[in-house]
Structure 1
Amino acid sequence: MKIVCFPHGYYLSEVSRLVEIGKKLRDMGQEVIFFSHGGPYHWVAESEGFNVVTIQPTMSPERANTYMKFNRAEVGNPFRDSFFTYEELKDYVPREAEALKETKADAVLIGWNLPSYLSTQLVGIPIIVQQPGPFTAPFFDRKMGEFVPSFIGLLRHLPMDWFINWFIPRMKVWLKPFNQLATELGLPNYKTTLDFMAGDLTLVMDTPEILKITHEELLNYTPRHPAYFNKPPLYRYGGPCFAKLPGGIPENVKKHFDTKRTKLFCGMGVSGSPKVLGSIIDIVGRLDLQAVVVTTTILQSDLKNVSDRVLVLPHVPTHLVNPMADIAITHGGAGTVQTAIHSGTPLIGVPMHAEQVGNVSLVRRQGAGILLPKQSLAQGEIENSIKKLITNKSYKENMMRLKKLQDQIDGPSKAAEEIIKFIQGRSKALN
């Protein structure tokens, strides 16, 4: 079989997850090719021996910056706007379809390369999606969503968890340009955002005991509200999957963390807020601790007026550096949360959007972390949270318990097995 991995090339976590799954697919005898509309992280796939094919049109850094701002709800109106405009989709979708036909792909595996939801239908091949559990229908059917006060200022002091779990299964954000083009192409319209995001197979990239949805529940899942889907979604567990960048621990990190002070690691991936990350750098620089902060493409790493107790770097192999820390600060991306769990490091989560709230809530509910709304971020909040994680040993003990659960699962291998099983089963059904 020939499988195309098609990540959004500006998201390091997404590229690295597809690389980890792609490696396992390749080990299992499948042909794996990477497609990309551009971005700075081709090297992650190329360093593992994958061929990366650039598909036109390519996304400029400026356009990617707007895309990420929209993802953080800093620009645009999600009920009117989307990640792509209708005009952009008219350019992206047919070119993707043409490339997929030429490649003779059997399936496409994506993360957030959204035009593929339409292009795969034009070609008649399945789209396989890898998603964190907190952005799937079963999560909200079981009323596990949490409201974060900073998201809707006027409702800040109201108990709104019920609203999140009622609204998200019904919401239709981002859909307008996709449905407009789908109608023109003779394809079915998406009924809800969760319908849009489900794909033909959705791999839930979490540990069942941490997500608190059993294998059996996911295997036998039927939507509580079937009218919100064109067809019943098919969910299967993949498992935890996070970046493992090449290289060892940098010498400057070893030296910086050779201290009796509390050691803090902060990484917000690519989807974190520059403003929030800048505030954290400023705040932790005034505290009596040693911090390593990874900026990726969010901020320049050569920042001015940074405390000498804060080492700022663009990238590190997080899975090796995080275990050196006493505490982690993350934006709540699935990869950064799972890396903290793998490292046994209690965390402070400052989420940017609803899915990240869900990821942090999984850890907070199990007593292994703290969730802070981004708009209430202040030195006192950060300092008090750090003190709580250090002085209350149960946070570390609980995170080590989660680590034991997560480390039992080879997420990339499980995901690869489910992909192969799905494609083979689909081929038999068609024949």
Structure 2
Amino acid sequence: MAIVIFCPITFNLAEVTRAIEVARALDARHNPVFMGYETDFADLITDAGFDYRPSEPALTSAERDQALRFDQGKTLRNPFTYELVSERVSAERALIRRTRAAAVVIGTNPTSMISARAEHVPLIYPVPFALTRPQVEQSKRLGLVRGTGTADRAIDTIATAVMRWVYAHAPLAPRSFVRVARENGVAPLRNIVSLIEADHNLLTVMPAELEGYTLPPGYERVGPIFAHLDAPMPEVVERLAAAPEPLVYLGLGSSADRGLALAAARRLGTLPVHVIAPIRHYLADDDELPPNVHVTGLIPAHRLGGLVDAAVLHGGQGTVQTACAAGIPFVGMGLQPEQVWNVDVCVRQGNALALTPKQAGGPELAAAVFRLLEEPTFRRAAERVEAEFDHEDGARASARVIDRIIEERAVDAEARG
């Protein structure tokens, strides 16, 4: 039996659920052990029956927001002090040694880039394709500048070239990572790539997203991975699905904010539809919404196929892939380049429309939802994409890769005597 440590960012819903799906798919010979620092979605891990080891130091709410903005490229300020990075690396190394882990599977947890390598344990990262090294290196335009005009495309090409250089060469990694890496006998982490590239990068995308790209060593496609929450469907969902009015799903994951949630919910509330909105974690007790907007906690969104007529999403890969697998056409409002990419992939397939977050509270959102509901081409495209997703199982493919890596490591260790 081999121990596999999972270390997602536990305040990121998509990362936690992606890790749970992969852990569920592991060969029975392997034992998953989770660790994390924040409590936001750690209960999903324990509810799924996994061994969870809470660790310290955790980020405060303000530090989490800052870390998210840093990850999204919206600021150079970050909460990764020397003390925090050093203590987290020590905690991760201690757990690896204590469990004699054979592999570490991560989300966007940058300290694992140091701890796993310091312990000479394979580092595995199931990750979207957008903003990975091959995508940045090989894309002519990354969609950093929105628009379809000649000037927009030209500016985006220039912005992409700048981004490409910054991504691979600019010393933007927090200084703490350079210092702590050296102290742990690991090559210093200096640029953006070094913070987000593991030894084995498992791309959680459909084949079409990789057309025209060549994957370097250390990268391979596994396919979509999204949440299958073990929770009952709220009674209100099935009741609203049976009503004569269309039912719209508002899914904003964990990387949106209260302003976007309120703007989108209130605009949707002006339409002749019902809205099911698992956005309770964004709202304050005194926030008022229209009566046709029904706020819930997290729901098993993978079971919404056949119940929901359209969706409005923030563009995170988990919410987008869930809609695709359920055959639901959607409006996507990417909050950062990776999410914009996720939405644009579906726009090209015909099962989605793209808006900016600033349009969430405006007439553009209403017009887009009406198009999804009234133009049958979107539904037909969503059904076609759903059929393609039926042949994919990224969690099981990831588990096979993890099993292969563990076996290769065991063979190498035996050969060394």
Normalization by structure 2: what TM-score? 0.89
Seen in structure 2, the aligned counterparts of structure 1 residues 98 and 426 have a Cα distance that, compared at 3 Å, is same
The AA in structure 2 aligned to 1:24 is A
Confirm or deny: 8 A CA contact 1:10 1:40 kept in the other structure: yes
Structure 1 position 253, deviation (Å): 1.9
* Distance in 1 (alpha carbons) for counterparts of 2:259 and 2:72: 11
| Range with bigger deviation, 421-430 or 361-370 | 421-430
Seen in structure 2, the aligned counterparts of structure 1 residues 159 and 371 have a Cα distance that, compared at 3 Å, is farther
Confirm or deny: 8 A CA contact 2:280 2:295 kept in the other structure: no
Specify the alignment match of 1:188 in structure 2. Answer: 187
Structure 1 position 144, deviation (Å): 6.6
Confirm or deny: 8 A CA contact 1:145 1:358 kept in the other structure: no
The AA in structure 2 aligned to 1:182 is A
Structure 1 position 58, deviation (Å): 2.9
Is residue 134 from structure 1 mapped to residue 130 from structure 2 by the alignment?
yes
Aligned residues: CA RMSD? 2.5
Specify the alignment match of 1:84 in structure 2. Answer: 80
Specify the alignment match of 1:368 in structure 2. Answer: 351
Confirm or deny: 8 A CA contact 1:70 1:83 kept in the other structure: no
Match of 1:176 among 174, 177, 200: 174
Give 5+ residue unaligned stretches, structure 1.
223-232
Seen in structure 2, the aligned counterparts of structure 1 residues 190 and 99 have a Cα distance that, compared at 3 Å, is same
Match of 1:346 among 313, 329, 339: 329
Secondary structure at the counterpart of residue 78 of structure 2: coil
The one-character-per-residue Cα deviations of 1:336-386 (angstroms, maximum 9, x if unpaired) are 000010111111111111111111111111121111122344421101111
Specify the alignment match of 1:45 in structure 2. Answer: 45
Structure 1 position 148, deviation (Å): 4.8
Secondary structure at the counterpart of residue 241 of structure 1: coil
Specify the alignment match of 1:121 in structure 2. Answer: 117
* Distance in 1 (alpha carbons) for counterparts of 2:290 and 2:281: 21
1:351-430 maps to which residues of 2 (within 5 A)? 351-430=334-413
* Distance in 2 (alpha carbons) for counterparts of 1:61 and 1:248: 29
Confirm or deny: 8 A CA contact 1:146 1:357 kept in the other structure: no
Confirm or deny: 8 A CA contact 1:83 1:174 kept in the other structure: no
Confirm or deny: 8 A CA contact 1:71 1:83 kept in the other structure: no
* Distance in 2 (alpha carbons) for counterparts of 1:168 and 1:415: 30
The AA in structure 1 aligned to 2:14 is S
Secondary structure at the counterpart of residue 134 of structure 1: coil
Match of 2:95 among 96, 99, 113: 99
| Identity within the alignment, % | 23
Is residue 318 from structure 1 mapped to residue 322 from structure 2 by the alignment?
no
The AA in structure 1 aligned to 2:37 is H
* Distance in 2 (alpha carbons) for counterparts of 1:392 and 1:406: 22
Seen in structure 2, the aligned counterparts of structure 1 residues 163 and 259 have a Cα distance that, compared at 3 Å, is farther
How many residue pairs match? The answer is: 407
Seen in structure 2, the aligned counterparts of structure 1 residues 150 and 276 have a Cα distance that, compared at 3 Å, is farther
Match of 2:107 among 104, 111, 121: 111
Is residue 257 from structure 1 mapped to residue 241 from structure 2 by the alignment?
yes
* Distance in 1 (alpha carbons) for counterparts of 2:63 and 2:136: 32
* Distance in 2 (alpha carbons) for counterparts of 1:402 and 1:49: 32
Confirm or deny: 8 A CA contact 2:145 2:156 kept in the other structure: no
Secondary structure at the counterpart of residue 281 of structure 2: coil
Structure 1 position 149, deviation (Å): 4.3
Confirm or deny: 8 A CA contact 1:147 1:160 kept in the other structure: no
The one-character-per-residue Cα deviations of 1:141-181 (angstroms, maximum 9, x if unpaired) are 44275425479xxxx95644323542443324751332243
Specify the alignment match of 2:17 in structure 1. Answer: 16
Normalization by structure 1: what TM-score? 0.87
Is residue 269 from structure 1 mapped to residue 270 from structure 2 by the alignment?
no
The AA in structure 1 aligned to 2:15 is E
Match of 1:161 among 131, 141, 156: 156
* Distance in 1 (alpha carbons) for counterparts of 2:203 and 2:303: 25
Give 5+ residue unaligned stretches, structure 2.
none
| Range with bigger deviation, 179-188 or 383-392 | 179-188
* Distance in 2 (alpha carbons) for counterparts of 1:17 and 1:121: 22
Secondary structure at the counterpart of residue 361 of structure 1: helix
Seen in structure 2, the aligned counterparts of structure 1 residues 83 and 372 have a Cα distance that, compared at 3 Å, is farther
Structure 1 position 405, deviation (Å): 1.2
1:258-297 maps to which residues of 2 (within 5 A)? 258-295=242-279, 297=281
| Range with bigger deviation, 266-275 or 131-140 | 131-140
The AA in structure 2 aligned to 1:163 is I
The AA in structure 1 aligned to 2:260 is V
The one-character-per-residue Cα deviations of 1:285-312 (angstroms, maximum 9, x if unpaired) are 1122111111153334x55321111001
* Distance in 2 (alpha carbons) for counterparts of 1:372 and 1:237: 28
* Distance in 2 (alpha carbons) for counterparts of 1:268 and 1:202: 26
Confirm or deny: 8 A CA contact 1:150 1:375 kept in the other structure: no
Confirm or deny: 8 A CA contact 2:129 2:205 kept in the other structure: yes
Structure 1 position 138, deviation (Å): 2.7
* Distance in 2 (alpha carbons) for counterparts of 1:270 and 1:150: 24
The one-character-per-residue Cα deviations of 1:238-260 (angstroms, maximum 9, x if unpaired) are 21111111122211222233322
Secondary structure at the counterpart of residue 181 of structure 1: helix
Specify the alignment match of 1:201 in structure 2. Answer: 200
* Distance in 1 (alpha carbons) for counterparts of 2:222 and 2:44: 21
Seen in structure 2, the aligned counterparts of structure 1 residues 260 and 159 have a Cα distance that, compared at 3 Å, is farther
The AA in structure 1 aligned to 2:309 is D
